[in-house]
Amino acid sequence: MSWHGLPVELKRKVFQYIHDDASKPSSRASCSVVCKGWQMVIEEKTLETLEVTPKCLYEFEKIFSGSLRRQGCLKHLWFRIELPTYSRLPSDTGETSEEEDTELSVSSDALLRLFTVLSKWDADQVLERNGRGINLELSAHSPSDQGNMSGAAGLTSMGEDRFLPVEVSLVGDELPSVSNVTGLSLLRRNMRRFRHTTISDLVACKLLRLDDIHLELWHHPSGLWADIFDSWLAEGVNRWAVSLKKINIFQHCETFQGPRAKKDATLARNIEDLGRRSHSLEELGLCNLIDARHFFESFSRPRATPRLPSWKNLRHLTLTSGLIAKDADSASPRDLLQSAATAAKRMPALHSLEIYNATTAGAGIFQYVILDPIAVINWASIWPYNLADDVKRAWKQVAQCHRLTPTTLEETLIHGYEGPAVFVHCYVVSRALVLHPSSSEAMIGDRVFEDPLVRMGLKRWAVTCLHKERENEALARITLSVNNPEVEEQELRLVTLEVFPDMTLGTLRSSIEAEGIPAPAQHLYHDGQLITDNNKTMQELSITDGDMLALHIRDMRGSGVAPGPREQPAAAPRRQASAPQDPELIRLQVLGDPRLRAELQRINPQLAANVDDSQRFAQLFQQSTNQQDEARRARMREIEALNNDEFNPEAQAKIEELIRQESVMENLQNAMEYNPESFGRVHLLYIDVKVNGIKVKALVDSGAQATIMSPSCAESCNIMRLVDRRFAGVARGVGTANIIGRVHYTMLQVGSKHLPASFTVMEGKAVDLLLGLDILKGHQATIDLTQNCLVIQGEKVEFLGESDIPKETEDAMNEEPTVQGPGGTTIGARSGAVTAPTTGSSSTPPAPAAAGPSSAAPMASRPAAPAAPAQPPAQAQPRRAFPEQDISTLIELGFDRQSAINALEATGGNVDYAAGLLFQN
């Protein structure tokens, strides 16, 4: 086979191999003239990172204009603004007004030209292809800057920057908006500062899809200019976009001088408010910009309005604080770290939290790093320091909130301190996220540093210390005596468990649940006393080695807990008769559980109103029980009367129907309790394809024999003219549909693959394009539900999400017939999807629990109160008042208040079930 006969994919693999194997970039570039395919491979590598100056913007626009492929290759764009030269030393005198005006004009014109070029790009296509846009790095410098720098790394011995406070700014408001830039960087190699208003304008108004900010700020260390700049930046942060995911800011001067003793806390509060408004923030690094104590103090600041959950997606947090210093009061770091622990409990996705201080005078760091399933707590400094016990205890609680095992390492004393740059590389775990002068080759040269986790032995120490702590702890063995009154003729069951002194009662309940006993049914007694506080540890409860606890299994929902496999006697009947319920035990449980009391208020207001009166409660409870028994006896009398007339065909038919209905309802209840996911709506599998260059959402249906297209889709794809009407006919299946004809050949693009395909054009379909077995099997496609994609000829094409599925198909599914389900719900006859009851519906309430065995199965997650006494039909059932915390939890998931209340009504106040019901609908 000749070279030109090879498939395009194979050619590109050969080019890629030659490109990666080439030793010199020049030799690779010289081969770009071989053929078009080789040129594409070269361009993908060459155009990935570019350095552009205003002088070459014309060539830059010419190369990328109109080429989506080239635009998609660009990942990082460094735009260098060149300012006029000068002959003076920057530290001798400031710029003249003419020089300043000239520089402002040059920088404004350069940014205007760049943004004008970028605004013409097809941002949607680029983002769809790459998943991310361009990272734009801006810098401004004069050719005279490098030769006139003074001091190490362009700073004086006191850390002052190279220039007086003259900053790069924009003139006018004509800068166009850009949608294809997702990252903005102002790094150390930038020779001039950018004015804070310019940064805020770019972040808030001009870069519409920005989600990543990296700033290295050159602040003036003297008090006046430093305070002014902090206030400017604090005001600018309030304008930043709430879609930001990564914010990393580093201020240089304090690396040399040390943090200022007095810092404005306004910036810290505004950063915290930005995180509160931005639910997407994942990384936050603020080094030498604010003091960590101001940041963490804002978490406990009282507010007039209820506090909303914040920082729920934050993974990495890195801050600096002047309180971490050799001469600092010992109580200061302790208070700081305790405040940080309080804040960390509200960061469920946290992976690392580091607070450090690194100057020419010294360095120290506190770290909370997650190495799943271990959370490492560590301190390192150049001076001796021991973490206080209350600090260690607070951070252990943080680890337990994150469902991790806390491990506290021994405090590290650093010997041979080499300065702040080396310290960051050696000890800061999030060093890749922290901007620092260590990025300067003049300060660290070509030195290669190990991963701080490896250097400090955190990975090894974490595992070693975990085993060591477990070995040193007083391992206790306790015995549970299990008693389940719902199981008759049960044998004595003893369960032995191993516990640690710091294990909480809630953790013990989880261990017992693994034995087949649900947590809500567990009633634990120690020394004759009921223990209920799940937050207390074994040590606080005085449970020691060899103790015996009584486990009383009592389900407060009206039917016994299903015993585990070891509890069920072999000769036990299929259904046990319920043991008599104790009204006083139920009343006490209602008094101790606010949610159960609220549920009783909804189901039986009269009983809930008398829960404080034991005699009246027992009387009403007995009345309710008697009514249920009477209803059950009436039903049995009806069945008995039918059985007495055994030769009556109508009576036998009624008995058969009653038995069938009971089996159906029992089967439905079992399905809703043990297999609730079967009632969720399964969405169809759609992918994005292109037919004749037109984008279409195609349904993947392996049960269809042929690929079918609707006439409207054929018209929009400009292939209706190719329909061969000799293949017209009628399709018969579930109903009938007219076949207009057949398109014998056209190109179908799936992912990057171009496949030949034929379509049957048929009326009466709600789907534009249905990919049948002829295409799936012909091109060896695989429906991979594990990865949620269609694999065709080795390429993975993800199925569309729920929000991207065509609305017409979902509307057709919503028109399906429904049947009545338990609790006022409706169930789709075809899909099986459960829908919540309509608010204010006048439909008949469900039958009482005593009507039959099928209605006695309670919800598995929450105890239910006894059924209410019979009410007159005309009496409206009072609407239940749910805890405001439960309603707020559902509202924070994105639903309105009324929908949240309706869902809680439908699920009996269970927040988890209510959330699942809202997402299903």
Backbone angles phi, psi at 625, to 5 degrees: -65, -40
Asked if residue 342 belongs to a domain, the reply is: no
Instruction: Report how far residue 364's alpha carbon sits from residue 377's, in angstroms, rounded to the nearest whole number.
Output: 14
Q: Output 38 or 480, whichever has higher pLDDT.
A: 480
Query: Is the confidence at residue 230, as pLDDT, over 90?
Result: no
pLDDT, one tens digit per residue, over 614-627 is 788 888 888 888 88
H or E element at residue 499: strand 493-499
Indicate if 7 and 61 belong to the same structural domain. no
Asked if residue 355 belongs to a domain, the reply is: no
Q: Which residues pair with 784 in a beta bridge?
A: 789
Instruction: Report how far residue 599's alpha carbon sits from residue 589's, in angstroms, rounded to the nearest whole number.
Output: 12
Q: Quick one: tokens of 205?
A: 């108004």
Instruction: Report how far residue 691's alpha carbon sits from residue 537's, in angstroms, rounded to the nearest whole number.
Output: 64
Asked if residue 693 belongs to a domain, the reply is: yes
Indicate if 673 and 822 belong to the same structural domain. yes
Q: Domains in the chain: how many in total? A: 5
Domain span holding position 717? 686-804
Indicate if 691 and 758 belong to the same structural domain. yes
Q: What percent of the chain clears pLDDT 70, i.e. is strictly above it? A: 63
CB 418 within 8 A of CB 427: no
| pLDDT at position 885 | 77
Asked if residue 93 belongs to a domain, the reply is: yes
Indicate if 178 and 59 belong to the same structural domain. yes
Q: For the beta carbon of residue 3, count every other beta carbon within 10 angstroms.
A: 9
Indicate if 606 and 632 belong to the same structural domain. yes
Is the pTM higher than 0.85? The answer reads: no
Query: Is the confidence at residue 512, as pLDDT, over 90?
Result: no
Instruction: Report how far residue 915's alpha carbon sits from residue 904's, in angstroms, rounded to the nearest whole number.
Output: 9
Residue of 145, 211, 230, 701 marked catalytic: 701
| pLDDT at position 488 | 53
Q: Output 71 or 391, whichever has higher pLDDT.
A: 391
| pLDDT at position 723 | 92
Instruction: Report how far residue 104's alpha carbon sits from residue 41's, in angstroms, rounded to the nearest whole number.
Output: 40
Query: Is the confidence at residue 296, as pLDDT, over 60?
Result: yes
CB 333 within 8 A of CB 296: no
Of 8-12, 282-286, 804-808, which has the strongest mean pLDDT? Answer: 282-286
| pLDDT at position 550 | 82
Query: Is the confidence at residue 375, as pLDDT, over 50?
Result: yes
pLDDT-based confidence at residue 423 (cuts at 50, 70, 90): confident
Least confident residue range of 103-112, 270-279, 818-827: 818-827
Instruction: Report how far residue 547's alpha carbon sits from residue 824's, in angstroms, rounded to the nearest whole number.
Output: 48
Mean pLDDT of the chain: 72
Backbone angles phi, psi at 652, to 5 degrees: -65, -35
Indicate if 604 and 561 belong to the same structural domain. no
212, 225, 273, 281 from 267: Cα distances, Å = 19, 15, 10, 17
Domain endpoint, select from 754, 775, 804: 804
CB 299 within 8 A of CB 353: no
Judged by phi (left if over 0) then psi (alpha if -120 to 50, else beta), residue 288 lies in: left
Indicate if 516 and 622 belong to the same structural domain. no
Among candidate residues 698, 700, 744, the one with its CA nearest the CA of residue 719 = 744
| pLDDT at position 785 | 92
Instruction: Report how far residue 691's alpha carbon sits from residue 712's, in angstroms, rounded to the nearest whole number.
Output: 13
Active site residue 912: no
pLDDT, one tens digit per residue, over 863-891 is 334 444 444 333 444 456 778 878 877 77
Asked if residue 782 belongs to a domain, the reply is: yes
Asked if residue 41 belongs to a domain, the reply is: yes
Indicate if 602 and 744 belong to the same structural domain. no
Crossing angle between the packed helical segments 594-603 and 583-592, to the nearest 10 degrees: 120
Query: Is the confidence at residue 39, as pLDDT, over 50?
Result: yes
Residue count of the chain: 921
Least confident residue range of 215-219, 752-756, 775-779, 893-897: 215-219
Query: Is the confidence at residue 795, as pLDDT, over 80?
Result: yes
Indicate if 773 and 865 belong to the same structural domain. no
Asked if residue 709 belongs to a domain, the reply is: yes
Among candidate residues 338, 331, 204, the one with its CA nearest the CA of residue 277 = 204
| pLDDT at position 714 | 92
Give the residue-averaged pLDDT of 481-510: 73
Q: Where would I find the H helices in 555-648? A: 583-592, 594-603, 605-609, 614-644
Asked if residue 834 belongs to a domain, the reply is: yes
| pLDDT at position 47 | 80
Indicate if 762 and 713 belong to the same structural domain. yes
Indicate if 59 and 203 belong to the same structural domain. yes
pLDDT-based confidence at residue 431 (cuts at 50, 70, 90): low
Q: For the beta carbon of residue 513, count every other beta carbon within 10 angstroms.
A: 14
CATH number assigned to the domain comprising residue 778: 2.40.70.10
Indicate if 640 and 558 belong to the same structural domain. no
Query: Is the confidence at residue 156, as pLDDT, over 50?
Result: no
Give the residue-averaged pLDDT of 716-721: 91
Domain endpoint, select from 521, 539, 569: 569
Among candidate residues 801, 742, 800, 802, the one with its CA nearest the CA of residue 772 = 742
CB 111 within 8 A of CB 175: yes
Q: What percent of the chain clears pLDDT 90, i.e. is strictly above it? A: 9
Domain endpoint, select from 153, 176, 210: 210
